[in-house]
A = this chain, B = another copy of it.
């Protein structure tokens, strides 16, 4: 049985397409290369994985590919959140069958005004009761426009099959409130590299970070430096990667992340429509930011 490990860095991996279809060979090759770094796991079907553009069949194939390509000591997470509770349960079970160790479950969000605490709590508790694998909450207000307030998370942390949260807000006050209020052992993971060092310094366990796809070694290094108590070095590395993280998340999104992967020698490929590939002018800006961060680039400017 796999020992789950959240004490470190996990990349939320992009989904590679070729001619519009899942490119599982490229995916496997990417996974093998990511796993040469000391990341503790991989997240398939996260926001960076364009999960909203995948069919249920594609999702399962993708999870199976990642699970078989990764070494056995890495924790495999799958994003299984759907709008309905029932569909989320079904997808969670199916992903567990394909080898996912943990389900990352985004807040339902379409009817935002109705997503009051009672609704969210019942959604997650019903799911956790029926899931064969542990649940990790996923709070990403940037995309969902719903926030999991600390009292909700505190309540859910009491369920033994809900083991943690990925919070992508970058809001250290909220991360601190989670840390103060959740049950012992509940994992608090930061979901954006823009707050990685501050979040770890505050007591978060690890991070699930878009940047970790492009710069896994640097992200792992920040985590280790904090664990070792070398805050000054962690701080400097954090500041070095801020601009790049901003580029591959807020500014350029998934198209930027895929372009950046190509620059460091991974397969990136194009995003699915309606997303457009990164424009050439933006590629040049991104290349400069990558170089400024000190990454070794395999593609000429």
Tell me whether A84 and B243 are in contact (CB under 8 A).
no
Chain-B contact segment, one of A26-34, A118-126, A155-163, A258-266: A118-126
Judged by a CB distance under 8 angstroms, whether A194 is at the interface is: yes
Q: Mark A101-127, 1 if CB is under 8 A from B, else 0.
A: 000000010111111001110110010
**A198 CB contacts on chain B under 8 angstroms:** 172, 195, 198-199, 201-202
Name the CB-closest residue of B to A119: B274
Interface residues on A, range: 35 or more
* Complex partner residue of A254 from B114, B143, B199, CB under 8 angstroms: B114
Name the CB-closest residue of B to A240: B180
In the complex, which residues 230-248 of chain A have their Cβ closer than 8 Å to any Cβ of chain B? 231, 235, 238-239, 242-243, 246
Tell me whether B111 and A143 are in contact (CB under 8 A).
yes
Judged by a CB distance under 8 angstroms, whether A71 is at the interface is: no
Copies in the complex: 4
Q: Mark A9-25, 1 if CB is under 8 A from B, else 0.
A: 00000000000100000
- Provide a sorted-by-A list of 21 A–B residue pairs whose CB atoms are within 8 angstroms: A52-B111, A53-B87, A55-B87, A111-B253, A111-B254, A113-B142, A113-B250, A114-B254, A114-B275, A119-B275, A122-B274, A126-B273, A145-B145, A172-B172, A173-B195, A176-B239, A176-B242, A177-B243, A179-B239, A198-B201, A203-B239
Given contacts A52-B111, A86-B273, 15 further A-B contacts (CB under 8 A): A53-B86, A84-B272, A84-B273, A84-B274, A108-B274, A111-B253, A112-B143, A113-B253, A114-B253, A122-B276, A123-B273, A173-B192, A173-B246, A176-B194, A176-B242
